[in-house]
Amino acid sequence: MSAAAASALTTLPIVCLGLFAMSAPWLGRRLGMERTLLACMAAITAGTALRGLGHVPLLFVATALAGIGIAISNVLLSALIKREFSQHGAAMMGGYTMAVCGGAAAGAGLTVPLEHVLGRGWTGALAIWAVPAIVGLALWAPQAWSRRPVARDSSIVVRGLWRDPLAWQVTLYMGLQSALAYSVMGWLAPILRERGLSAETAGFVVSVSVLTQLATCLVIPGMAMRRRHQVGLAVGSAVLTIAAVLACMFGALGGIWVWAVALGIAQGSTFALALTLIVMRSPNADVAARLSGMAQGVGYLIAAGGPLLVGLLHASTGSFAASGWLFGAIGFALVLAGFGAGRARLVSATRESTRNPTN
């Protein structure tokens, strides 16, 4: 594949996350959250399996199919936790965010070793990830088929969310932390290679950073829900993120493992907090679904611009040094969003029924 095609392929899932997340609340109302999630799991399973056929045009189609399933399920899972586990939200959000980070770390770290173990090239290594998708599909199917869409669900509309400043602050926090996260995952290894590390060491540094996120993803939701407000957590994790990114780019290479662990702690915190704030700032599950769709839909479209701008800056300057200014600007905006999103308030959105009360 050409560099342009490879870049398009890696950006495609992020674009899907942005474009299709906003359709999730409507689908959840029409089909019910459980059955919509079942359809998403089927799409993820099929898309992941088709990626292993080795046909490049089909690789794009299959990636988009899996990306659509992930986009919709991401939104509905936050609403499902709000509806079903309101008394145990911290534990559920901690487990959820840890699973997301763990899955990402496993996919990034094990695909190449699996390619060597399986002996079937990159196609088999990609297709093998359909196995956990099938397991998830089988476990969820009984839950989905036993539930029928509730009539009131399809008649509920939420108004005023897109005009609410707090909703936009939560959305910006989600999008800006994701922009930094995707930039780090996509470009930190090349940045470190440019600084003189070997390809193997640079890749291992990124893996350590991603794996470190698991612990903070489990802990941060509980910390957030035990506090009256979350401004300190939101701002502190944002400041630590940008400090750790800049240390990886410009600090002494002798401390790179310290910087990598600090970056993992910081980015795990911002990611877990971004998802937790969606639940905490919503008064009920209906608003949580709409806010989740807004935050992830707009947020991931913002996020797609992060790694793209890093690549463009490198192409125009011949160095990654200029990206430090970009990361600093994103980090500053993330701090401002954290000041707003961390306040102990609920979004000003009203839930209304469109059904005729006389029927």
**Nearby residues of 106 by Cβ (< 8 Å), 6 or more positions away:** none
Alpha-carbon span 272 to 245, nearest angstrom? 18
Say whether pLDDT at 144 is over 70.
yes
Residue count of the chain: 359
Determine the number of helices (DSSP H) and then strands (DSSP E) in the chain: 13, 2
Which region among 1-10, 51-60, 182-191, 340-349 has the lowest average model confidence (pLDDT)? Answer: 1-10
C-beta of residue 35 within 8 angstroms of C-beta of residue 146? no
C-beta of residue 209 within 8 angstroms of C-beta of residue 265? no
Which three-class secondary structure state does DSSP give residue 351? strand
Half-sphere exposure (Cβ direction) of 165: Cα atoms closer than 13 Å? 8
Half-sphere exposure (Cβ direction) of 206: Cα atoms closer than 13 Å? 25
Reference 79, options 282, 229, 217, 269; nearest CA is: 282
Q: Quote the Cα angle for 118-47-120, to 5°.
A: 15
- CB atoms closer than 10 angstroms to residue 116: 9
The confidence score (pLDDT) of residue 352 equals: 61
Reference 241, options 327, 137, 313, 343; nearest CA is: 327
Alpha-carbon span 49 to 45, nearest angstrom? 6
pLDDT tens, position by position, 130-142: 999 999 999 999 8
Say whether pLDDT at 171 is over 80.
yes
The confidence score (pLDDT) of residue 359 equals: 45
Q: Which domains does the chain have, with CATH numbers?
A: 3-149+160-347 (1.20.1250.20)
pTM value is: 0.78
Alpha-carbon span 78 to 75, nearest angstrom? 6
The confidence score (pLDDT) of residue 151 equals: 45
Alpha-carbon span 143 to 139, nearest angstrom? 8
* Alpha-carbon distance values, 184 to 96, 246, 310, 337, 347 (Å): 22, 11, 10, 20, 31
